[in-house]
RNA sequence: GGCGACGUAGCCAAGUGGUAAGGCAGGGGUCUGCAAAACCCCCAUUCAGCGGUUCGAAUCCGCUCGUCGCCUCCA
């Protein structure tokens, strides 16, 4: 299996530190508003990677942090006149719901920044002792970038280049403009925690270093996040972690997903051009959203559009139907299921080439449908389709019949319509079908009788 | 300005040296009372453009044009 690592900018053979086990850390959210489809893209990507690694037989330990204290949370909590903690809880719960709706499996742990402060203080203290950090007179502590010769290796930058375009804050207390804060001195009224340098709160990059090291050890196999985190966030995590432990590499494989665009721009909270996951789920199924994401290669940018989502919705329905159509054939479909699975694996082994893997699923679906039409037993092929679908996190659930309440009434109408059709009263039969369709109930007449499901 | 991606059919999107996967849309057909679903057939002599290397290039090299991301919070 080959995985592209941002650090080396090449596809590398994947070899975890411990045989059979993979430690995986993915940067989580800052919960101060509802998550958007860009977040969905990132977490679907890493969910698929996790599922595939488990499919390959690895035991995966998956950690995702929660940045439950930062400027945005403080600002927003202040304007809503609620404690920062309450705001963060509210939107973290919302995030958890969204992830569940998208069939994204929860991490093994969701450590929160505010509960990991002792670990961070310990790490910062050690960095100061080693000369990699210093406390300024405000009580903030900064990382000394010049103390690390290979600072910039992840993002391919060097200090001189960065200085050219750097925004230098006037009256900065930092030794070097690129030094970054690990511990922020508290301003009056802000939530704060005691530290050897006075009341304050952790800097953003510090929590991920402390948690990755604390939960997964000094060398993590996979660390993931969006490409927008490469610099400065992940660069600074490397700096803190490698300087604190002396162990290199902090991360063996750095994975970054491409960013989701809305129109010509990146979808982001700060630009405000976003579609929340909750809104997307009003119109599209979890499988449709997932299929939209995995139909494109994870390192490439992807543009959110209704056309693309509509296409994915149709595609997802096609796969679900193939996975569940009934056949009472006696003779099994002659299809080399092993080679189908091999194609799937070959695609996924090549740096998680999900678009190609998805193509094998559609090919399999066609084989299943053809086999059914020929009166063959397709159950084993259907099992394979469901199995490979689940590796990609697709439920391929049977068409939705919604809450059961309307069910008996729809069945009643179908019975009446059946009689009408038998009596060649097609005008009335069609009217029932059309009226139900306008209410979102799709009827399909089949040789064995009519079936119905809700249109998404 | 520095760093990094990308440009393949109407749309989405694989393919990194051997002659263009897959999905959606569209056209024709089978099935159906009609639809829907499903199936079959068709749908890029061509991969932003121009040069070069090669027996052979969408794939490698150079240049040009265009788009995006990061360098400030961001998945």
Residue A170 pLDDT? 57
Q: How high is the pLDDT of residue A335?
A: 87
Nucleotide B25's nearest residue (CA vs C1') is: A311
Distance A186 CA to B67 C1' (A): 42
Helices (H), strands (E): how many in chain A?
A: 15, 15
Provide CATH 3.40.50.620 ranges for chain A. 2-266
* Residue spans in chain A of domains classed CATH 1.20.120.640: 284-391
Closest residue, CA to C1' of B15: A356
Query: Which nucleotide does the CA of A204 lie closest to, via C1'?
Result: B73
- Measured CA A427 to C1' B68 distance, in angstroms: 54
Position A298 scores a pLDDT of 97
| Distance measured from the CA of protein residue A280 to the C1' of nucleotide B8, in angstroms | 29
Exposure string of A289-306, with b = 16+ CB inside 10 Å and e = fewer, is bbbbbbbbbbeeebebee
Which residues fall within 8 angstroms of residue A376, CB to CB, at 6 or more apart?
Answer: A327, A329, A331, A332, A333, A334
Nearest nucleotide by C1' from A45 CA? B75
What CA–CA distance (Å, rounded) separates A116 from A22?
23
Q: What is the pLDDT of residue A449?
A: 84
Beta bridge partners of A64: A26
Nearest residue to nucleotide B37, by CA–C1' distance, is A444
Within 10 A of A63 (CB to CB), how many other CB atoms are there?
22
Q: Give the torsion through C-alpha atoms of A81, A83, A85, A87, to 10 deg.
A: -10
Are A218 and A247 in contact by the 8 Å Cβ rule? The answer is yes
CA atoms A209, A211, A212, A218: torsion sign? positive
Q: How many CB atoms lie within 10 A of CB A9?
A: 9
Q: CA-to-C1' distance for A363 and B55, Å?
A: 35
Which nucleotide has the shortest C1'-to-CA distance from A178? B71
Q: What 3-state DSSP class applies to A134?
A: strand
Quick one: which of A397, A440, A438, A403 has its CA closest to A288?
Answer: A397
Query: Mutual orientation of helices A37-55 and A286-294 as an angle, nearest 10°?
Result: 80
Residue A48 neighbours by CB distance under 10 Å:
23
Model pLDDT, residue A167: 59
Distance A368 CA to B37 C1' (A): 14
Q: How far is the CA of A341 from the C1' of B41 (A)?
A: 28
- Which 8-state DSSP code applies to residue A193? B
Q: Distance (Å) from CA A447 to C1' B31?
A: 11
Give distance CA A160 / C1' B1 (Å).
12
Q: Which nucleotide is nearest to A421 (CA to C1')?
A: B33
DSSP string, A385-429: HHHHHHHTT---PPPP--SGGGHHHHHHHHHHHHHHHHTT-HHHH
Gap from A60 CA to B27 C1', in Å?
Answer: 49
C1' of nucleotide B73: residue with nearest CA = A270
Nearest nt (C1') to A315 (CA)?
B23
Which nucleotide's C1' atom has the smallest distance to the CA of A268?
A: B74
Closest C1' nucleotide to A152's CA: B3
Contact between A179 and A173 under an 8 Å Cβ cutoff? The reply is no
Measure, in angstroms, how far nucleotide B48 C1' is from residue A265 CA: 21
**C-beta separation of A50 from A223 below 8 A:** no
pLDDT digits (tens, 9 = 90+) for A387-432: 999 999 999 998 777 666 778 899 999 999 999 999 999 999 999 9
Distance CA A34, CA A98 (A): 9
Cα A5 from Cα A9, distance rounded (Å): 6
Contact A400, A380 (CB under 8 A): no
Closest-approach nucleotide to residue A311, Cα vs C1': B24
Nearest residue for B12, CA–C1': A308
* Residue whose Cα is closest to the C1' of B36: A444
Class of domain A284-391: mainly alpha
Characterise A398 by phi-psi region: left (phi > 0), alpha (psi -120 to 50), beta (else): beta
Strand B: list positions under 7 Å from protein Cβ: 1-6, 11-15, 21-25, 32-40, 67-75
- C1’ B74 / CA A99, Å: 19
Contact status, residue A393 vs residue A51, Cβ threshold 8 Å: yes
Which nucleotide is nearest to A70 if distance is taken from CA to C1'? B73
The single-letter DSSP state of residue A124 is: H
- Measured distance CA(A158)–CA(A98) in Å, rounded: 39
Neighbours of A422 (CB within 10 A): 9
- Which residue, counting CA atoms, is nearest to the C1' of nucleotide B32? A445
* CA A10 to C1' B57, whole Å: 22
Q: Mean pLDDT in runs of 10 for chain A (456 residues)?
A: 94 95 97 96 98 98 97 95 96 98 98 97 97 95 95 90 65 86 94 96 96 97 96 96 96 96 90 93 96 96 94 96 90 91 97 97 96 94 98 91 78 93 93 89 87 82
How many angstroms separate the CA atoms of A202 and A183, rounded?
5
| Nearest nucleotide (C1') to alpha carbon of A257 | B75
CB atoms within 10 A of CB A13: 7
Calculate the angstrom distance between C1' of B74 and CA of A34. 14
- Domain A2-266 CATH class label: alpha beta
Length of chain A as a residue count: 456
């Amino acid at each position: 299996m080959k995985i592209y690592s941002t650090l080396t900018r090449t596809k590398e053979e994947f070899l975890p530190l411990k045989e059979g086990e993979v430690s995986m850390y993915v940067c989580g959210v800052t919960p101060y508003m509802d998550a958007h489809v860009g977040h969905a893209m990132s977490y679907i990507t890493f969910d698929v990677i996790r599922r595939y690694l488990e499919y390959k037989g690895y035991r995966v330990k998956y950690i995702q942090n929660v940045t439950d204290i930062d400027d945005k949370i403080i600002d927003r909590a202040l304007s809503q006149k609620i404690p920062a903690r309450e705001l963060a809880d509210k939107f973290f719960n919302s995030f958890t719901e969204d992830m569940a709706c998208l069939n994204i499996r929860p991490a093994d742990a969701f450590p929160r920044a505010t509960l990991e402060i002792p670990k961070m203080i310990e790490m910062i203290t050690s960095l100061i002792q080693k000369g990699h950090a210093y406390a300024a007179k405000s009580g903030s502590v900064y990382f000394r970038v010049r103390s690390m010769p290979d600072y910039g290796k992840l993002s391919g930058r060097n200090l001189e280049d960065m200085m050219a375009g750097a925004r230098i804050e006037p009256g900065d207390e930092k030794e070097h403009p690129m030094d970054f804060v690990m511990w922020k001195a508290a301003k009056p009224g802000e939530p704060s925690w005691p530290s050897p340098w006075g009341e304050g709160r952790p800097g953003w990059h510090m929590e991920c270093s402390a948690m990755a090291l604390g939960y997964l050890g000094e060398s993590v196999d996979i660390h993931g996040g969006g490409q927008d985190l490469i610099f400065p966030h992940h660069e600074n995590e490397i700096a803190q972690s490698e300087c604190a432990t002396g162990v290199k590499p902090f991360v063996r494989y750095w994975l970054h997903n491409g960013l989701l665009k809305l129109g010509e721009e990146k979808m982001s909270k700060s630009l405000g051009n976003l579609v929340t996951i909750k809104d997307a789920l009003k119109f599209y199924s979890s499988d449709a959203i997932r299929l939209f994401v995995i139909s494109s290669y994870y390192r490439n940018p992807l543009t959110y559009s209704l056309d693309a989502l509509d296409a994915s919705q149709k595609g997802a329905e096609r796969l679900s139907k193939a996975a569940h159509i009934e056949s009472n054939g006696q003779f099994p479909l002659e299809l080399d299921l092993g080679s189908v699975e091999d194609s799937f694996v070959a695609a996924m082994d090549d740096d998680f080439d999900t678009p190609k893997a998805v193509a094998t699923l559609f090919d399999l679906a066609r084989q299943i449908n053809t086999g059914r039409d020929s009166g063959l037993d397709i159950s084993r092929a259907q099992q394979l389709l469901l199995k490979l679908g689940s590796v990609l996190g697709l439920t391929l659930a049977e068409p939705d019949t919604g809450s059961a309440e309307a069910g008996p009434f729809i069945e009643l109408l179908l019975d009446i319509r059946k009689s009408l059709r038998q009596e060649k009263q097609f005008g009335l039969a069609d009217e029932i079908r059309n009226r139900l369709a306008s209410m979102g109930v799709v009827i399909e007449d089949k040789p064995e009788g009519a079936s119905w499901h809700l249109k998404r």
